[in-house]
Amino acid sequence: MAKSANEDQLYIGIDGGGTKCRATIYSAKNGVLGTGLGGPANPLHGLERTLESIMVSTQLAMRDAGLPLESIHQIYAGLGLAGVNLPSLYEKISEWEHPFKEMFLTTDLHTACIGAHDGGDGAVIITGTGSCGFSHVKGESVNYGGHGFALGDKGSGAWMGLEAVKAVLVDLDGLGPNTSLTGVVKDHFNTDCGMGIAEQMAGQPSSSYAKLARYVFDAARKNDEIALHIVKEGAEYISSLAKRLLENNPPRLSMIGGLAEPLNEWLDPAIAKLVEVPIQPPEMGAIYFAQQTVLEQNQKVDV
């Protein structure tokens, strides 16, 4: 990883997503000094809330590190945020009158990728509530998928949950194949009727659908035809996402998120054996990102 000229220099790495915001304080000399956890920080779902969550996680991390709050002005901050691939949101966050010494902003995918490969080039696939692929090789970033719930995010937890509910509603109407998912989903919603399930799910966020994904994996392992079809279709998409990323020749490929482990056994075996564990979490990726950017700035000044 990159080294700052001043080994005592403090950095904060912040990883902001739809459900929580994590912050880690670090110096090259002393390593991790403290961590903090805040609420949702996806600017797509609210700018004010995002900035508040960033400040909460920052203050908790500073307290954890035993640092006085005034020292915030001496800390370099690296921010990896969901949603800032949209230029309008990138600009809004950039215009924030932040309290840090300097702030370096990029997407949560980029910082996750930097972290997973310990500061080096590589590719990552995120499969949790949503799904997405990202690679950063020789200064070039590319991403695939990640178009959001219902439109895209195939192979994700929310996608699996939605496919399960669709199949159960068809089964309950007697219009399609029977599936053991029907009994499980009826129990989950505590209702016998399709309209009762539809009412409870109408307008729910993707996280409510993602909660059903574990039923699909359970049923697939017991050879339920419908569940097998869903899991195989999802895994096939994730495998093709991996193949597409490998075309960019990343030195490493990692999978991150709650579905990374259960999906592994269903992937194309040639892909599954290539997948390597992420070395560091996204917050550390955000710290490396800030360090690298400071280093580049200093080099420019030196020249």
Residues in contact with a copy of itself, counted by CB under 8 A, come to a total of 30
Evaluate whether 34 touches 287 at the Cβ level (below 8 Å): no
| CA proximity to 254, closest of 233, 282, 231, 228 | 282
Q: Quick check: 244 binds a copy of itself (CB under 8 A)?
A: yes
Evaluate whether 255 touches 265 at the Cβ level (below 8 Å): no
Nearer to a copy of itself, 1 or 198 (CB): 198
Span interacting with a copy of itself, options 100-108, 113-121, 150-158, 277-285, rule CB under 8 A: 150-158
What residues contact 52, with CB distance under 8 A and at least 6 apart?
A: 38, 39
Tell me which residues in 200-219 interact with a copy of itself (CB under 8 A): 201-202
| CA proximity to 287, closest of 41, 34, 18, 20 | 34
Residue with tokens 């900035």: 51
Among 99, 120, 194, 258, which residue sits at the site for a copy of itself (rule: CB under 8 A)?
Answer: 194
Residues in the chain: 303
CA 237-114-91 angle, 5° bins: 90
Among 14, 165, 213, 271, which residue sits at the site for a copy of itself (rule: CB under 8 A)?
Answer: 165
Shortest distance (Å) from residue 235 CB to a copy of itself: 13
Tell me whether residue 136 is exposed, middle or buried, using C-beta atoms within 10 angstroms of its C-beta: 0 to 12, 13 to 18, 19 or more: buried
Shortest distance (Å) from residue 141 CB to a copy of itself: 13
Tell me whether residue 17 is exposed, middle or buried, using C-beta atoms within 10 angstroms of its C-beta: 0 to 12, 13 to 18, 19 or more: buried
Nearer to a copy of itself, 170 or 274 (CB): 170
Q: Quick check: 134 binds a copy of itself (CB under 8 A)?
A: no
Span interacting with a copy of itself, options 93-101, 196-204, 271-279, 286-294, rule CB under 8 A: 196-204
Q: Quick check: 130 binds a copy of itself (CB under 8 A)?
A: no
Q: Quick check: 193 binds a copy of itself (CB under 8 A)?
A: no
Strand partners, 77: 12, 103
Span interacting with a copy of itself, options 100-108, 198-206, 223-231, 268-276, rule CB under 8 A: 198-206
- CA atoms of 229 and 153, how far apart (whole Å): 17
Nearer to a copy of itself, 8 or 173 (CB): 173
Q: Quick check: 91 binds a copy of itself (CB under 8 A)?
A: no
Evaluate whether 24 touches 32 at the Cβ level (below 8 Å): yes
Nearer to a copy of itself, 5 or 150 (CB): 150
Q: Quick check: 34 binds a copy of itself (CB under 8 A)?
A: no
3-state percent breakdown (helix, strand, coil) of the chain, nearest 5: 45, 20, 35
Q: Quick check: 199 binds a copy of itself (CB under 8 A)?
A: yes
Shortest distance (Å) from residue 161 CB to a copy of itself: 11
Nearer to a copy of itself, 150 or 270 (CB): 150
Interface residues with a copy of itself (CB under 8 A)? 85-86, 144-145, 147-148, 150-152, 154, 162, 165-166, 169-170, 173-176, 194-195, 197-199, 201-202, 237, 240-241, 244
